[in-house]
Copies of this chain bind each other. A is one copy, B any other.
Amino acid sequence: MPSADNGPVVILAGGGCLPRQLADHLLSEGRTFRLLAFRGFADRDVRARADAVVNLLDLKAIEAQLRIWKPALITLAGAVHRPSAAALFGAFTLFANRQEIRTIISKGDDNLLRGAVSILEGNGFRVTGVHELMPGVTASVGVLGRVMPTVEDRAVISVGFRVLQALSPFDVGQAVAVSGERVLAIEGPEGTDRMLRRTNAVQRHFFLSRPSLRGALVKAAKAGQDLRFDMPAIGPRTVREAHKAGLNGVAIGAGTSLIVDIDETIAVADRLGLYLVGAIPPWQESKIMERADA
């Protein structure tokens, strides 16, 4: 059994500042950890303080490293669902041909990450979610900043959640931009930031000048999503991009989404006049009801 209760937490570090935040959190708790950064994904400063840097698709190297460290727990922190050219270049050297990579990737983000987790578990490792190690990082229910959403804003949020619910059986993004009853954009493999930039372009096309249409970014984990990987996340940059896209608020699934750098995220929302709401998506509500009934 490679997992040992007295072993370190291993952070498999993808993009963004979440790996750094988690590392700092574990440090503050005095918990032993190792940082394994994915080449082409992890930020430069995360790579700089990493104990090892590996290629995302080099499962042999990852496993060998894990067997040395004997982790109590492994967690995936940060985005890895948009392999960059650099990451794939690395991976190409390990496979017979590009077709193999294409086959893996064509099956979608969900399958890719689910596959990685089940390989790790199949090898006896214990995999946990970032939210289990750092509970305060998930969005709580309610209005998180100073700006209150209006009744109309709440209707927009509801449309967004319903779109995400309809899409949950499919391997597609976790976010949607809605204005009124109109769906402005649905996230694909490009990620939330790029989707918001597209929304910006659409809005400009409609309104000539700087967009100022009301609307919301709605982001949430899918129904039944394994929160140990690819947990929806927002941060200060998300709020800035939402503002640029002409939206006046951000709603995220409470309890199942991460807010990276929460103080700064709220400060940015307050400064730009956007509401920031943690809400229970409809599919989550019924789950809570079921639990209450049981």
Contacts and interface: CB of A to CB of B under 8 A. Distances in A.
Q: Counting chain B CB atoms within 10 Å of each CB, which of A83, A109, A186, A215 scores highest?
A: A186
Interface stretch (A160-168, A231-239, A281-289): A160-168
A185 B183 contact: no
B180 A184 contact: no
Contacts of A188: 183-186, 198-199, 202
Interface in A189-247: 189-190, 198-199, 201-202, 205-208, 213-215
A84 B207 CA distance: 9
A182 B106 contact: yes
Contacts of A88: 206-208
A184 B105 CA distance: 11
Contacts of A115: none
A225 to B, nearest CB: 15
Contact of A166 (B98, B169, B198, B213): B169
Q: How many copies does the complex hold?
A: 2
Interface string A31-48: 000000000000000000
A89 interface: yes
A65 interface: no
Contacts of A199: 188
Nearest to A89: B208
A123 interface: no
A166 B170 CA distance: 10
B182 A189 contact: yes
Interface residues of A, number: 46
Interface string A69-88: 00000000000001111001
A109 B169 contact: no
A60 interface: no
Given A167-B166, A188-B202, A182 B85 contact: no
A190 B185 CA distance: 9
A175 to B, nearest CB: 12
A122 to B, nearest CB: 22
23 contacts: A85-B205, A88-B207, A88-B208, A102-B207, A102-B213, A103-B180, A106-B182, A107-B181, A108-B180, A108-B182, A109-B182, A111-B181, A159-B170, A163-B172, A166-B166, A170-B183, A171-B181, A172-B186, A182-B189, A185-B188, A188-B199, A189-B202, A190-B198
Interface of A: 82-85, 88-89, 98, 102-103, 105-109, 111, 159, 162-163, 166-167, 169-172, 179-186, 188-190, 198-199, 201-202, 205-208, 213-215
